[in-house]
Amino acid sequence: MRPLPRVFAVTTDAICRAPDFEARVRAVAEAGPAAAIVVRAPGSSAAKLARFAEGQRDRGAEGQREGAAVIIHARPDLARAIGADGVQLRRDDLSPEDARKVMGKGWIGVSIHERQEAEQAVREGADYLVAGCVFESTSHPGRPGMGLEWLTEICGLGRPVIAIGGMTPQRAAAVREAGAFGVAAISAIWDEPDSGAAVRDFLTRLDGETGLRGRGPDGLPALEIGLTVNGEARRVQSPLTLADLMAMLELDPRAVVVELNRRIVRRPELPDTPLRDGDAIELVHFVGGG
């Protein structure tokens, strides 16, 4: 599984129909794996949405998956069909647990607007949360922002949080200091003359140490989470998969049975099984002999 991106460029129907959209998408994709294109176009048909999403996925594949990630809005079935990197669920969509059954591999995020929704999403297995509106935004005029103190509360629930609502590069450091892992934006990216430069500006301002600890895969900043491994408490950097943990412990997956939260995880699933704060892992070694 790819590292979770830190800047989500969220589309709309109008943005997708703009004559220069393809050029803007290429610019965003070139920002690399720390960026994601969230394919959201509710007014488009499923067939058109699939063609567009496949185009963005293929663009990343041409760069050995080093381009921006592709995340599908609300449709785990479409995400699976095109091999997207994740799905972004709304409050009334499938639960994260059920979406995982449909999509299989990839990140599952949930958009939340209050603490109760966030707690439910965490219980149901969300890999990350998109929390907002943090500030008043042009897409929701008249709705007051929830504020940074609220964002800090959501960031304390043990999942990476992507802040949304009124996001600008100038506000990126503030949401980072509140504990957010990244940001999601529409106009602050797509309305700029150079959308790729806007994404890079966000990333530069997010690249601080406050609220973050160390680096994860591909040099991306990592959050710290707590695990229990064979009854022993450990603090590790996230994003992290079971395969990463096995490598960290210098264990051969061929000689170990892995149980995650009382569920046996088969060896082919280890690279695609993310670890979350509070997970309990039991590792049982085979003992050979003659």
- Residues 213-239: tens digit of each pLDDT: 444 444 445 567 889 999 998 888 777
The sign of the CA dihedral 192, 198, 201, 205 is positive
**Domain assignment of residue 68, yes or no:** yes
Q: For residue 220, what pLDDT is reported?
A: 46
Distance from the first to the final alpha carbon of the chain? 38
Kindly give the parts of the chain with pLDDT less than 50.
60-65, 209-220, 289-290
Does one domain contain both 202 and 237?
A: no
Q: How confident is the model over 122-146, as pLDDT tens digits?
A: 999 999 999 999 999 887 777 889 9
Residue 44: half-sphere exposure toward Cβ, Cα within 13 Å: 20
Does 140 share its domain with 262? no
Shared domain for 75 and 152, answered yes or no, is: yes
- Rounded to whole angstroms, what are the CA distances from 12 to 19, 49, 187, 190, 206? 14, 11, 10, 10, 24
**CATH label of the domain that carries residue 42:** 3.20.20.70
The verdict on residue 290 lying in a domain is no
pLDDT at 139: 78
β partners of residue 137: 140
Please report the pLDDT score of residue 288 as a whole number: 57
185 and 230 assigned to the same domain: no
Tell me how far apart the alpha carbons of residues 228 and 179 are, in angstroms, rounded to a whole number: 23
The answer to whether residues 209 and 176 touch, using CB atoms and an 8 Å cutoff, is no
Residues in contact with 129: Cβ distance below 8 Å, sequence separation at least 6, in sequence order: 109, 110, 111, 112, 118, 121, 122, 154, 157, 159, 160, 161, 162
What is the pLDDT, as a whole number, of residue 147?
96
Give CA angle at 95 (175, 58), nearest 5°.
Answer: 70
b/e for 22-57, b at 16 or more Cβ within 10 A?
Answer: eebbebbbbbbbbbbbbbbbeebeeeebbebbbebb
Shared domain check, 133 and 79: yes
Q: Which residue has the tokens 């929701």?
A: 140
> How many other C-beta atoms are found inside a 10 Å radius of the C-beta of residue 88?
27
To the nearest 10 degrees (0 to 180), the angle between helices 148-155 and 169-177 is 50
Last residue of a domain, one of 178, 195, 217: 217
Helix (H) or strand (E) holding 232: strand 232-238
- pLDDT in the model for residue 190: 96
